[in-house]
């Protein structure tokens, strides 16, 4: 985000804060957050939508379907939301029809503690979402747990997608990470116990925290705190602790069975899943392509959106012959 955009956002937020103070309204922080996220969406071509699938209300951001542009579907990681792709999407909006999805239990989608969030269940939910949206042969990209879901999807339904991109995927833990060391001591920095833990989580996840103005960081911290029960449920159902301490059961075989074009992108400074595991993914998935980004941690598409978008865009367009 350039300086001019930041200045406009800050000016608009100041207006909201002053207005809210004058009217003695206590919800100004929420409106400031909504305004800031609206500004984040500007320039992406994405608009919010929602629909029902498998007893979940699913929230998405979708670009215009005009023309014959290929579809790129974006799947966030554990505890994240569709908004993590906004800055990445800005660089691909003219070449792709983009859909960013809040998985069940995440973001603005339904959070139901009685539902199952095993990886295979999430694959089934994703397939139902794509069917409901009438998406034909998309390129799928996922981060962390989302990348694991994408890999399973490719192995089970290769005829339904064109390519996959895996950003720092979970599931293979041959090489130890800092997160693995903490989990072995029954400490889990991914599920925050108090709002002040959120800043530590951001620093742990990323090499360098990107620019985020106050209402966004404050509200994200509040949401993460309020979502801790559903996050614990998803973390346990998806067996993320087991997959981070040991290779996910049967995942090696899943990777070896992937037979569609695959791009693996990994941030060199990943403290959650050791970057040395990237080579294993590259070796397991036939004819896959691996790119290591020196300036990123666990979320390259958010930390280095321009570089990540160019790599993904060039890969997808190469496959379809553009």
Using H for helix, E for strand and C for coil, what is the string for 50-102? EEEECCEEEEEEECCCCCCCCEEEEECCCCCCHHHHHHHHCCCCCCCEEEEEC
d(CA 131, CA 221): 33
CA distance 244 to 178: 10
Contact present, 111 and 105 (Cβ < 8 Å): yes
Rounded Cα gap, residues 305 and 311, in angstroms: 10
Q: List Cα–Cα distances, 46 to 99, 149, 176, in angstroms.
A: 8, 23, 38
Please give the average per-residue pLDDT across 245-266, as a whole number. Answer: 94
What average pLDDT does this structure show over 260-279?
Answer: 98
| Mean pLDDT in residue range 294-310 | 97
Q: Is the pLDDT of residue 82 over 80?
A: yes
Which residues lie closer than 8 Å to 32 by C-beta, 6 or more apart?
13, 16, 17, 215
How far apart CA 72 and CA 162 sit, in angstroms, is 10
**For residue 322, what pLDDT band results from cuts at 50, 70 and 90?**
low
Question: pTM (2 decimals)?
Answer: 0.90
In Å, how far are 29, 89, 228, 262 from 312, measured between CA atoms?
35, 11, 32, 10
Dist CA 191 CA 169 (whole Å): 19
pLDDT band for 28, please (50, 70, 90 cuts). Answer: low
Cα–Cα distance for residue pair 123/88, rounded to 1 Å: 23
The β-bridge partners of 156 are none
Query: Does residue 274 come out as left (phi exceeding 0), alpha (psi in the -120 to 50 range) or beta?
Result: beta
| pLDDT, mean of residues 31-35 | 78
């Amino acid at each position: 985000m350039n300086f001019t955009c930041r200045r406009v956002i800050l000016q608009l937020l100041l207006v909201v804060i002053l207005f809210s103070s004058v009217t003695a309204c206590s919800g100004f922080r929420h409106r400031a957050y909504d305004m800031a996220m609206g500004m984040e969406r500007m320039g992406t071509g994405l608009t919010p939508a929602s629909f029902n699938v498998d007893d979940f209300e699913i929230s998405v951001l979708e670009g215009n379907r005009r023309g014959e542009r290929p579809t790129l579907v974006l799947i966030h990681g554990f505890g994240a939301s569709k908004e993590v792709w906004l800055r990445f999407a800005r660089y691909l909006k003219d070449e792709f029809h983009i859909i960013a999805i809040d998985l069940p239990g995440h973001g603005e989608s339904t959070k139901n503690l009685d539902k199952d969030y095993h990886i295979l269940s999430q694959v089934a939910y994703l397939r139902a979402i794509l069917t409901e949206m009438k998406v034909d042969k998309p390129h799928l990209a996922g981060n962390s747990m989302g990348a694991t879901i994408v890999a399973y999807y490719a192995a089970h339904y290769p005829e339904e997608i064109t390519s996959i991109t895996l950003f720092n995927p979970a599931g293979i833990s041959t090489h130890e990470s800092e997160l693995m060391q903490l989990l072995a001591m029954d400490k889990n920095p991914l599920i925050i116990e108090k709002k002040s833990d959120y800043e530590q989580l951001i620093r742990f996840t990323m090499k360098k925290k990107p620019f985020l103005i106050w209402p966004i960081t404050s509200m994200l911290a509040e949401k993460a705190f309020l979502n801790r029960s559903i996050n614990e449920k998803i973390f346990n159902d998806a067996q993320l602790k087991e997959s981070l301490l040991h290779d996910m059961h049967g995942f090696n075989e899943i990777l070896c069975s992937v037979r569609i074009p695959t791009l693996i992108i990994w941030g060199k400074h990943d403290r959650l899943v050791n970057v040395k595991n990237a080579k294993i993914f590259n070796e397991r998935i036939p004819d896959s392509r691996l790119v290591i980004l020196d300036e990123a941690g666990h979320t390259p598409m958010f930390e280095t959106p321009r570089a990540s978008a160019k790599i993904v865009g060039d890969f997808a367009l190469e496959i379809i012959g553009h």
